[in-house]
Structure 1
Amino acid sequence: MAETRWLDEREMRAWSGFLAASALVNRRLDQQLKDDSGLSHPQYEILVRLSAAPDGELRMTELANGLINSKSGLTYQVTQLEKAGLVRRRSCPSDVRGVFAVLTDAGRARLERAAPGHVAMVREALIDVLTPAQLEALADGLGEVSRRLREHGG
C-alpha cells in the first residue's frame, strides 16, 4: 500500500479555501436566485443549458452529462420546473426510453428575468473580487481539475 501523502501547509490552505469559497458562493447564488426569481441554482443551470440548446431542448441524459448533478437529482429538478410550467418533457420518437426536456416560453421569460441579477451576484461574489491574474489562475486550475475528473468518469 502506498504511503499517504499528507497535505502540506500551502496545499491545505488551497483545499480549505476552495471548500469555504465554493460553499459560500453557492449559498449566496442560491439565495439570490430564490429571492429574485423563485429558482434554485440547479434549476437556473438547467434553464441556461436548455436555452443554449438547439430548439431549447436536450435529452435528459445529455442534460445530466452537462450538469454536475445525479440523474435522480436532475429528474427531481426537471419535475419541479415542469410543475411551474417552465419546462416540459417530450418523448423521443426514435427511442422509447429517450426523453427530452424542453424549455417553454415561460421558462425562457423567467430565465431572462433571472439572468441579470444572477450575473451581478456572480460578479460580486467571485469575479470582481479577484485580480485578472488570480482569475486566470483559477480558471486554468479548476478547468484542469474538471477536465481530468470528467476524463476519468466523474
Structure 2
Amino acid sequence: MDALVWDQVVTLHGRVENELAKALQRRHGIGLSEFRALCRLSHADDGELRMQELADLIGLNQSSVSRLVARLETAGFTRRDLCANDRRGVYTVITDEGRAAVENASPTYYETLSRSLDDASSDPRVSGLVAALRTDVPVG
C-alpha cells in the first residue's frame, strides 16, 4: 500500500467515523466506541470478554477501555465479573439492556455506514477506495 492509498483510507475513515458517531449519539445517546464494545460483547461466548481482549478488539488502550466499561456499567449495559479460574482476571459482561441497545442502534449504524459510503463515492479523492471496499477489489 502506498502513501496515496493510505491517505485515502485515513480520509474515508475519518469521514465515516464522524457520521457514525453523530448518528449514534443523536438517535440513541451512545458513543461509537460504546456501540462497538456492545457489539463485540453481544457476539462473544457467554456475552463476556476480558477487559484487555475487549480493548484489543475495539482498538483502545487499557485505561480508555476501563473508562468505557465504567460508562457502560453506569448505563446498565454491562457488568463486571471476576474470572473463576484467575481471580485477577476481570471480565465485562453484556446485560439484557446492553443487548437491547445494540439491537436498537444497529439499523442506525448500518444505514449511516451505507449512506456515508454512498456520499463518499462521489468524492474523487476516495471514490476508488469506496468501490474497492464494496467489491473486494484490491486497492492500488
TM over 0.5: yes
Whole-angstrom CA distance in 1 between matches of 2:85 and 2:52:
15
Q: Which residue of structure 2 aligns with residue 110 of structure 1?
A: 101
Unmatched 5+ stretches in structure 2:
122-129
| 1:97 and 2:88 aligned | yes
Counterpart secondary structure, 1:34: helix
Number of residue pairs aligned between Structure 1 and Structure 2: 130
Residues 59 and 100, structure 1, Cα contact 8 Å, conserved in 2: yes
Q: How does 1:1-154 map to 2 (within 5 A)?
A: 11-126=2-117, 129=121, 130-131=130-131, 135-137=135-137
CA shift in 2, pair 1:38/1:98, >3 Å: same
Whole-angstrom CA distance in 2 between matches of 1:109 and 1:133:
29
The superposition leaves residues 9-56 of structure 1 with CA deviations (integer Å, 9 ceiling, x where unpaired) of xx4432332222111111111111101111111111100000001121
The superposition leaves residues 88-139 of structure 1 with CA deviations (integer Å, 9 ceiling, x where unpaired) of 10111211210110000111111100000111111111278443676413xx
Instruction: Return the index of the structure with the highest Cα Rg.
Output: 1
Whole-angstrom CA distance in 2 between matches of 1:92 and 1:133:
39
Q: Which residue of structure 2 aligns with residue 4 of structure 1?
A: none
TM-score by length of structure 1 reads: 0.75
The superposition leaves residues 66-98 of structure 1 with CA deviations (integer Å, 9 ceiling, x where unpaired) of 221111111111100000000110111211210
Whichever residue aligns with residue 57 of structure 1, its letter is: E
Unmatched 5+ stretches in structure 1:
1-10, 142-154
Higher relative contact order (CA 8 A, sep 6+): 2
CA shift in 2, pair 1:104/1:127, >3 Å: farther
Q: Percent identity?
A: 33
